[in-house]
C-alpha cells in the first residue's frame, strides 16, 4: 500500500468496468443551445449524479439536425444509463437503448412510445394557465411564438394554449415560429409587431424567445412591455426574475425534475423495468412583463407572486 501511494497508483476504472459491467458513467445528450434551462439541468444532473458515484459523458447535438448519429456513439462507451434532454428525433434511439437493456430517461420531452421513461414539466397546465391569465388581464389579440415543431414541449404548449383560447371563444390567434432560437424569435416578433392590428399579448414557448421578443418590442418598436404589450414566457429561467427583465413565466422546477430523473434511473438500474412518466407541476410566476389581472394573483411567502385563478 505504501508503495502504491508512493508510485501514485490509481485503479483503472476502465479496466474495472470491463469485468463489473458497470462504468459508473451516465451518457447525457442535449442540444448545444444557449438555453439556460438546459444549463441548469446539466449542472443539477452533474452534481446529483456525482453524489451517487456517477460521472457524466456529454453529447451535444445540433438542436434542429437531431442527434441520432452522435448518439450511436454513446452506447460504445458502455454507459450505465442515458439521459436525453429535449433532443429531437431520438425516440428511435431511446427504444434501441431500452432493447439492449440500457436505462433511458427523457428529460423535458415525451415520446409516443410509452416504453421509455420521461420527466417533463406540466406543459398543458402551464399553457392553459397562461391563456387564462392573459384572458383575465383583458387582452384581445393573442399571438404565439412557437418553438421547434418537432419538439413535444412545443406541441403540448401550443395545443393547450390554442385549445384554452378557443374554449373561451377567442379565435384569430396569430402564430409565428421562433424555432426555440433567439434569432428566430426576434424575426417572429418583427412579423407580429409590424402588423396593423398588432397583438396585445404574446406567449412565447420559452423564456429565451420571450427575451428576444422583449428586446425587439422595446428597442425596435418602442413598446412599453407590460402596458402596451404583454409578454409571457415558459421555464422561469434565472433571468426572468431580474428586475430589468421581470418576465412573467411558467416555472419548470429544475431540481424536482432532476430528482425524478435520478430516481427513475436508479429504479431501472435496480431492475424495476416499469417505465414511468413523471409530469412535474409548476406555477405561473407573475411579474411585470404582462398586464396583471385585477384578481387571481396570490403572493407566496418568498415574495413571488403566482397565478391561482385557473386551478
Partner DNA sequence: GTGAAAGCGCTAACAG
Partner DNA sequence: CTGTTAGCGCTTTCAC
Binding-site ranges for its own copies (CB under 8 A) = 8, 10-15, 17-18, 23, 25, 28, 32, 34, 36, 39-40, 42-43, 46-47, 50, 55-60, 70, 72-73, 75-78, 96, 99-100, 182, 211, 214-215, 218-219, 238-239, 242-245
Judged by CB under 7 A, does residue 1 bind DNA?
Answer: no
Cα–Cα dist 110/80, whole Å = 21
User: Does 2 participate in binding DNA (rule CB under 7 A)?
Assistant: no
Query: From the list its own copies, DNA, none, which binds 19 (C-beta under 5 to 8 Å, kind-based)?
Result: DNA
Minimum distance from residue 32 beta carbon to its own copies (Å): 5
Residue 13 C-beta: closest distance to DNA, Å = 7
Indicate whether 15 belongs to the interface with DNA (CB under 7 A): yes
The burial of 303, by beta-carbon neighbours within 10 Å (0-12 exposed, 13-18 middle, 19 or more buried), is given as exposed
Q: Which is nearer to DNA, 1 or 19 (CB)?
A: 19
Q: Which does 43 bind (CB under 5 to 8 A by kind): its own copies, DNA, none?
A: its own copies
Query: Are 57 and 26 a contacting pair, CB within 8 Å?
Result: yes
CA-based end-to-end distance of the chain: 63
Binding residue for DNA (CB under 7 A) from 2, 5, 8, 10? Answer: 10
**Closest approach of DNA to the CB of residue 76, in Å:** 8
16 scored as a contact of DNA (CB under 7 A): yes
Closest approach, Cβ 15 to DNA, in A, equals 3
In contact, 204 and 187? CB cutoff 8 Å: no
Compute the C-alpha angle 87/258/266, nearest 5°: 100
What is the dihedral angle through the alpha carbons of 91, 95, 96, 99, rounded to the nearest 10 degrees? 180
Choose between 75 and 297: whose C-beta lies nearer to its own copies: 75
Looking only at residues 19 through 38 of this chain, which bind DNA when binding is defined by CB under 7 A?
Answer: 19-20
Spatial CA neighbour of 203 closest among 296, 108, 284, 293: 284
Among 5, 6, 12, 295, binds DNA (CB under 7 A): 12
Q: Is 294 a binder of DNA (CB under 7 A)?
A: no
What is the spatial distance between Cα 115 and Cα 95, in angstroms, rounded to a whole number?
A: 8
Residue with Cβ nearer DNA (16 or 92): 16
Phi-psi region of 268 (alpha: psi -120 to 50; beta: other; left: phi over 0): alpha
**HSE-up (13 A, CA, CB side) for residue 35:** 28
Name which of its own copies, DNA, none residue 196 binds, using a CB cut-off of 5 to 8 Å depending on partner kind.
Answer: none
Asked if 18 interacts with DNA (CB under 7 A), we say: yes
- The CB-of-130 to its own copies minimum distance in angstroms stands at 21
Nearer residue to DNA within complex by CB, 15 or 244? 15
**Of the ranges 11-19, 98-106, 154-162, 251-259, which one interacts with DNA (CB under 7 A)?**
11-19
Q: Which is nearer to DNA, 3 or 19 (CB)?
A: 19
Residues that bind DNA (CB under 7 A): 10-12, 15-16, 18-20
Amino acid at each position: 500500500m505504501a508503495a502504491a501511494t508512493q508510485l501514485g497508483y490509481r485503479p483503472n476504472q476502465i479496466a474495472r468496468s470491463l469485468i463489473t459491467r458497470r462504468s459508473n458513467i451516465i451518457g447525457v445528450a442535449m442540444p448545444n443551445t444557449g438555453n439556460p434551462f438546459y444549463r441548469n439541468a446539466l449542472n443539477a444532473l452533474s452534481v446529483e449524479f456525482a453524489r451517487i458515484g456517477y460521472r457524466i459523458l456529454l453529447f451535444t447535438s445540433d438542436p434542429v439536425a437531431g442527434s441520432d448519429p452522435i448518439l450511436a456513439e454513446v452506447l460504445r462507451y458502455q454507459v450505465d444509463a442515458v439521459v436525453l434532454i429535449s433532443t429531437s428525433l431520438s425516440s428511435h434511439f431511446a427504444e434501441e437503448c431500452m432493447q439492449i437493456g440500457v436505462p433511458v430517461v427523457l428529460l423535458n420531452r415525451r415520446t409516443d412510445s410509452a416504453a421509455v421513461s420521461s420527466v417533463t414539466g406540466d406543459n398543458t397546465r402551464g399553457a392553459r394557465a397562461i391563456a387564462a391569465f392573459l384572458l383575465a388581464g383583458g387582452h384581445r389579440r393573442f399571438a404565439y411564438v412557437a418553438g421547434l415543431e418537432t419538439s413535444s414541449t412545443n406541441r403540448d404548449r401550443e395545443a393547450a394554449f390554442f385549445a384554452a383560447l378557443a374554449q373561451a371563444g377567442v379565435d384569430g390567434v396569430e402564430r409565428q415560429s421562433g424555432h426555440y432560437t433567439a434569432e428566430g424569435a426576434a424575426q417572429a416578433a418583427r412579423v407580429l409587431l409590424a402588423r396593423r392590428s398588432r397583438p396585445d399579448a404574446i406567449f412565447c414557448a420559452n423564456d429565451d424567445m420571450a427575451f428576444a421578443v422583449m428586446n425587439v418590442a422595446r428597442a425596435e418598436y418602442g413598446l412599453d412591455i407590460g402596458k402596451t404589450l404583454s409578454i409571457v414566457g415558459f421555464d422561469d429561467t434565472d433571468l426572468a426574475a431580474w428586475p430589468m427583465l421581470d418576465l412573467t413565466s411558467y416555472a419548470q422546477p429544475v431540481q424536482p425534475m432532476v430528482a425524478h430523473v435520478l430516481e427513475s434511473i436508479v429504479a431501472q438500474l435496480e431492475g424495476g423495468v416499469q417505465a414511468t412518466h413523471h409530469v412535474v407541476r409548476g406555477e405561473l410566476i407573475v411579474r411585470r412583463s404582462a398586464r396583471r389581472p385585477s384578481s387571481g394573483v396570490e403572493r407566496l411567502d418568498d415574495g413571488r407572486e403566482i397565478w391561482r385563478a385557473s386551478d
